[in-house]
Structure 1
């Protein structure tokens, strides 16, 4: 079945939870990105819901952050740091993307990693202490829906790389499917008021990234990783508010 095959391909590409499939149709995988996020979120949140680190929310938040890093191979955090380094350099055009591709991490990238990991740990602890464990399952779903939304609004700005293979999949229909799935899970796992806050914060993150991509004349996989991490943090923060 094509749906299941594309789901496994997306799961293997975005996480360690699925098989590595050679030459996957990345465009066909795009609408299933939030489903992959939901799978990842459940794997990380269910043990906490069952009582792992019960009574120790900070330890639970730290375990969640480490699990997220391990299960995604740091793929999205790397993009988040790369975009931060390029943005902080104040470079433009090709120089911006040259800095982004540099394997060495700079000061802005380092600060971005601290913000991301510390944010997941501390905000995760807040959610656990207030009994909102299912927002921890929702956050990876929201992050990957954010990447799909960014692909949709920047589909004319593709640069060479894996990101360019994904962008054609962000059709109006696929984007609507991905966002509808995320909103439904958001209503179930977070509730209407936290979901409204999450949507507003994600909108701000995506607006800023889309504006930066248009200013620099391109979007690549690092931008998509930054969208995932940025929207995950927005989900954490929105769930706390």
Structure 2
């Protein structure tokens, strides 16, 4: 079935959990990004829910953060760091994207990586301590739903690359499905308060990324990675407010 092929392609593209597809239908994969997030979230969280590092929440959260990094090949963290480098440079237009695509990491990118990994570990430890383990599973879903929402918001300003192949898949029905799935998972994992705070903080993050993309004339895969990481963090933070 096509939906199974697209799911496996999305799983292989976004994580190490699936086969690497040759010539995948990237647009067709887009609505399944949050489903991939759910798969990843369960793989990361079920061992903790079953008692791995029970009584040691910081250790459990550290393993969660490192496993998330390993299973995604650092793909989204790389985008998060690249956007931070370009944003911190105060460059605009083509210079902004030149800095973003530079393979060398700058000071702002390095700081962004510390914030992202430390944030996952610290927020995760607090959630484990308070018994909200399933918000750690919901965060990857919300992050990938946010990436689809950013594609929808910036569908008219694609930049060359894999991101431009994904943007046509962010139709309104696909976006509503992705965002709806993210909200359902947030509600199920953390209740109404966590869902509201996660949505508010995630919405602010997406607004800032979309504004930055429009100021510089385009959105690419790095922006999508930044949306995933940023909204994973806001989901975890929202569960503590």
Question: What's the offset of the Cα at 1:187?
Answer: 1.5
**Alpha-carbon displacement from aligned partner over 1:197-233 (angstroms, at most 9, x marks no partner):** 0000000000000000000000000000000000000
Which residue does the alignment assign to 1:123?
Answer: 123
Deviations 1:148-190 (A, max 9, x none): 0000000011000000000000000100111111111221111
Cα separation, 2, equivalents of 1:142 and 1:13: 18
Q: Which residue of 1 aligns with 2:104?
A: 104
Match of 2:193 in 1: 193
How many angstroms apart in 2 are the aligned matches of 1:15 and 1:133? 21
The residue matched to 1:159 in structure 2 has which SS?
A: coil
Residue of structure 1 equivalent to 2:84: 84
How high is the TM-score relative to the length of structure 2? 0.99
Give distance in 1, aligned partners of 2:191 and 2:6. 29
Aligned length: 241
Cα separation, 2, equivalents of 1:12 and 1:145: 17
Partners in 2 of 1:184 and 1:138 — Cα distance? 9
Query: Displacement, 1:193?
Result: 1.1
Q: Structure 1: 5+ residue runs without aligned partners?
A: none
Mapped to 1, the partners of 2:207 and 2:180 lie a distance apart of 19
Following the alignment from structure 2 to structure 1, what is the Cα–Cα distance between the partners of residues 122 and 184?
26
CA-to-partner distance for each residue in 1:57-88, whole Å, 9 max, x for gaps? Answer: 00001000000000000000000000000000
- Which ranges of structure 2 fall in alignment gaps of 5 or more residues? none
- 1:52 Cα shift? 0.2
In 1, the alpha carbon distance for the partners of 2:185 and 2:154 equals 25
Q: Report runs of 4+ in structure 1 exceeding 3 Å deviation.
A: none
- The aligned counterpart of 2:68 is 68
Task: Give the aligned CA root-mean-square deviation in angstroms.
Answer: 0.5
Secondary structure of the structure 2 residue equivalent to 1:190 = helix
1:135-146 alignment, distance < 5 Å? 135-146=135-146
Matches of 2:231 and 2:184 in 1, distance apart? 17
Q: Could you tell me which residue of structure 2 aligns to residue 25 of structure 1? A: 25
Matches within 5 A, 1:1-241: 1-241=1-241
TM-score under structure 1 normalisation? 0.99
Secondary structure class of the residue paired with 2:6: helix
